[in-house]
């Protein structure tokens, strides 16, 4: 997409946001407190009041529907589809599929008994995204002839561990919490201990250990003064869920520093963006670009997950939101000061009711 078309898309997207600001600023938590249903246009209410939730899920993902829909709603769906960046993954698979025979020299990346080693301590919900991210980073690193990366907000080091031991990339993790860095080093040693049972001494000697550094990154200037290994004269910047302004900070460093050869960043916690992080574009600064906390918070959620649950009738996973909204109505009725009061997470089951 050229510059003119990109700017046009941005301008139209902000116009849609301004038009439907009343809808984007609604918290599910306040559904009953603020009477969300009656905020919808009457034509929408008539269409949705008797609609099966599964049909609503199909409608939102673009599947055919037998329902007569208001033109204003159809226009909104088509506009969003036209302006939305494609969300389908471009990566077909994460797993290597080497042709193994009796002459194959095994390493951490291709040994059949070590294929599940890299994500051993990773929670199930994060395994897929770490696997895909590692695959993407490896592909980009190969294309740019840059086999060194720095991961910002590396946590327990799961991503750099995969990149280093499986993909043979020089990887450094930057994390502000020393406790997480210490634990990451322990997990590195545990992985190597297991690998030694299956690999030759020569293969073990060639392993690239990830580097774990403690830095609380708050300014771009800090990026220029990082003490990095000699193997990282040139490097790629990566980040899986860099929070708030950290993503924009990395983008600025990528643009200004000739030693940074590529960047792979999947941002999160957009509601924590400040004026330093948004907007970055001089063009967007000239537009009515305001995004409320509610808008940026909801943008962190994947609509596909909710649509899939609606289509499959997995309402047990959704009813907790309705229960919390009902509880909010009770709390506010007792004391308005309890509005949006924190409530500890409640484990729910299929048989859970509101009293539960």
Q: What is the pLDDT of residues 206-237, one digit of tens each?
A: 899 999 998 887 777 777 778 888 888 899 99
At residue 90, the pLDDT reads 58
Residue 97's pLDDT band (cuts 50, 70, 90)? very low
Domains of the chain: 3-85+302-338 (no CATH), 119-278 (3.40.50.150)
pLDDT of 349 over the 70 cut: no
Q: What average pLDDT score do residues 161-181 get?
A: 93
Q: How many residues does this entry show for the chain?
A: 356
pLDDT at 355 over 80: no
Residue among 1, 80, 16 nearest 289 (CA): 16
Those residues whose C-beta lies under 8 Å from the C-beta of residue 324, and which sit 6 or more positions away, are: 28, 29, 343
The mean pLDDT of the chain is 88
Q: What is the pLDDT of residues 23-81, one digit of tens each?
A: 999 999 999 999 999 999 999 999 999 999 999 999 988 888 888 999 999 999 999 99
Tens-place pLDDT, residues 104-123: 567 788 888 888 888 888 88
Work out the percent of the chain whose per-residue pLDDT is above 90. 61
The 10 Å Cβ neighbour count of residue 116 is 9
CB 265 within 8 A of CB 247: yes
pLDDT of the residue at 189? 94
pLDDT classification of 287: cutoffs 50, 70, 90: very high
Q: By mean pLDDT, which of 94-108, 128-142, 264-278 is the weakest?
A: 94-108
Mean pLDDT value of segment 286-294: 95
**Range scoring the smallest mean pLDDT among 79-93, 240-254, 269-283, 309-323:** 79-93
Asked whether residue 300 carries a pLDDT value surpassing 80, the answer given is yes
Beta strands in the chain (DSSP E): 148-152, 170-175, 211-214, 235-243, 260-268
Distance, in Å, from the CA atom of 318 to the CA atom of 196, rounded to the nearest integer, reads 46
Give residue 96's pLDDT band: very low, low, confident or very high (50, 70, 90): very low
Residue 104: predicted pLDDT: 55
CB of 95 within 8 A of CB of 128?
no
Question: What percentage of the chain reaches a pLDDT higher than 70?
Answer: 93
pLDDT at 318: 85
163 close to 137: Cβ distance less than 8 angstroms: yes
- 148: tokens are 């060194």
Please check the confidence at residue 317 and state whether its pLDDT lies above 60: yes
CB 73 within 8 A of CB 19: no
Assess whether pLDDT exceeds 80 at residue 299: yes
- pLDDT bin (cut points 50, 70, 90) of residue 103 is very low
pLDDT at residue 46, as a whole number: 95
Nearest CA to 240 out of 219, 264, 260 is that of: 264
| Region 154-170 average pLDDT | 93
């Amino acid at each position: 997409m050229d510059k003119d078309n990109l700017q046009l898309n941005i301008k139209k997207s902000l116009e849609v946001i301004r038009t439907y600001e009343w809808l984007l600023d609604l918290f599910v938590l306040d559904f009953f407190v603020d009477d969300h249903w009656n905020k919808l246009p009457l034509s929408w209410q008539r269409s949705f009041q008797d609609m099966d939730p599964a049909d609503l899920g199909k409608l939102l993902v673009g599947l055919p529907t037998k329902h007569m829909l208001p033109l204003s709603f159809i226009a909104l769906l088509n506009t969003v589809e036209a302006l939305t960046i494609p969300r389908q993954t471009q990566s077909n698979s994460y797993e290597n599929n080497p042709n193994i025979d009796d002459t194959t020299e095994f390493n951490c990346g291709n040994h059949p008994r070590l294929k599940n080693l890299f994500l051993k301590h990773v929670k199930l919900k994060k395994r897929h995204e770490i696997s895909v991210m590692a695959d993407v980073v490896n592909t980009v690193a190969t294309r740019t002839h840059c086999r060194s990366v720095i991961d910002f907000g590396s946590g327990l080091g799961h991503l750099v561990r995969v990149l280093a031991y499986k993909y043979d990339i020089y990887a450094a993790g930057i994390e502000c919490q020393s406790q997480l860095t210490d634990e990451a080093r322990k997990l590195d040693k545990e992985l190597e201990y297991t690998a030694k049972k299956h690999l030759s001494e020569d293969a073990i000697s060639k392993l690239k250990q990830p580097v774990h550094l403690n830095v609380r990154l708050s300014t771009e200037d800090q990026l220029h003064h990082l003490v990095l290994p000699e193997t990282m004269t040139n490097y790629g910047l990566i980040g899986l869920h860099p929070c708030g302004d950290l993503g924009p900070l990395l983008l600025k460093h990528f643009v200004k520093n000739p030693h940074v050869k590529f960047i792979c960043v999947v941002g999160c916690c957009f509601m924590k963006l400040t004026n330093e992080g948004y907007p970055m574009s001089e063009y967007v600064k000239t537009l009515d670009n305001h995004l409320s906390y509610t808008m940026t918070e909801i943008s962190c959620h994947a609509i596909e997950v909710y649509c899939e649950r609606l289509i499959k009738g997995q309402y047990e996973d959704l009813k907790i939101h309705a229960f919390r909204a009902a509880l909010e109505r009770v709390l506010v009725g007792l004391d308005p000061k309890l509005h949006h009061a924190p409530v500890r997470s409640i484990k729910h089951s299929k048989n859970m009711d509101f009293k539960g």
